[in-house]
Amino acid sequence: MLRIDRATRDAIVAHARADHPDEACGVVAGPEGSDRPERFIPMLNAARSPTFYEFDSADLLRLYREMDDRDEVPVVVYHSHTATEAHPSRTDVSYASEPFAHYVLVSTREHGAQTGLAGDDVEFRSFRIVDGVVTEEDVEVVESYLFGHSPTTVVYD
């Protein structure tokens, strides 16, 4: 299960909306071994494409150096799909190389601001991708890590 605080979840969704129709991508880093996504790091999609994303090679090196210095790991690796469902594509699976990360997929195909649709529904789902096998997991949005489980916790199935 992915447990993520609301502000971070909202930041991921806002990034995906802002970059629509191109795919948005980024990382939420957290202390090694904690499984807590704490530090939101939006990345540039070097591919600037509606069907592909890739971290710029120099940005990638800088990101991993920085996480290393801070004893962090990429707890969440997120990207958006802008015309299809929030589920890893074959390409996503072939590239996935962080077996301990939560791969978050956001779909902006039906978000209102850009599409003009009456409904505004941005899908937010999380997966593990290990050795080519995709497993969806629950996402629990907590108000804040500071207070742990609060009574207002919402579980999205």
Partner 1 sequence: MAIEVRIPTILRTHTGGNKTVSGAGETLGALVDDIEGQHPGIKGRLVTDEGKLHRFVNVYVNDEDVRFTGSLDTPVKDGDSVTILPAVAGG
**Smallest gap, in angstroms, from Cβ of residue 103 to partner 1?**
9
To 5 degrees, how large is the angle CA 81–CA 123–CA 91?
A: 30
**Smallest gap, in angstroms, from Cβ of residue 142 to partner 1?**
26
Nearer to partner 1, 136 or 140 (CB): 136
**Smallest gap, in angstroms, from Cβ of residue 57 to partner 1?**
5
CB 76 within 8 A of CB 104: yes
- Cβ neighbour number for residue 16 with a 10 Å cutoff: 30
- Identify the CA nearest to 139 among candidates 38, 34, 1: 1
**Smallest gap, in angstroms, from Cβ of residue 17 to partner 1?**
19
Residue 72 structure tokens: 């962090």
Nearer to partner 1, 8 or 26 (CB): 26
Backbone CA torsion sign across 77, 83, 86, 91 = negative
Nearer to partner 1, 95 or 147 (CB): 95
Nearer to partner 1, 55 or 124 (CB): 55
The contact set with partner 1 (CB under 8 A) reads: 25, 27, 43, 47, 51-55, 57-58, 60-61, 64, 73, 77, 79, 88-92, 94-100
Please report which helix (H) or strand (E) contains residue 67, including its range: helix 57-69
Amino acid at 122: V
**Smallest gap, in angstroms, from Cβ of residue 154 to partner 1?**
28
* Residues making up the chain, counted from first to last: 157
Nearer to partner 1, 96 or 142 (CB): 96
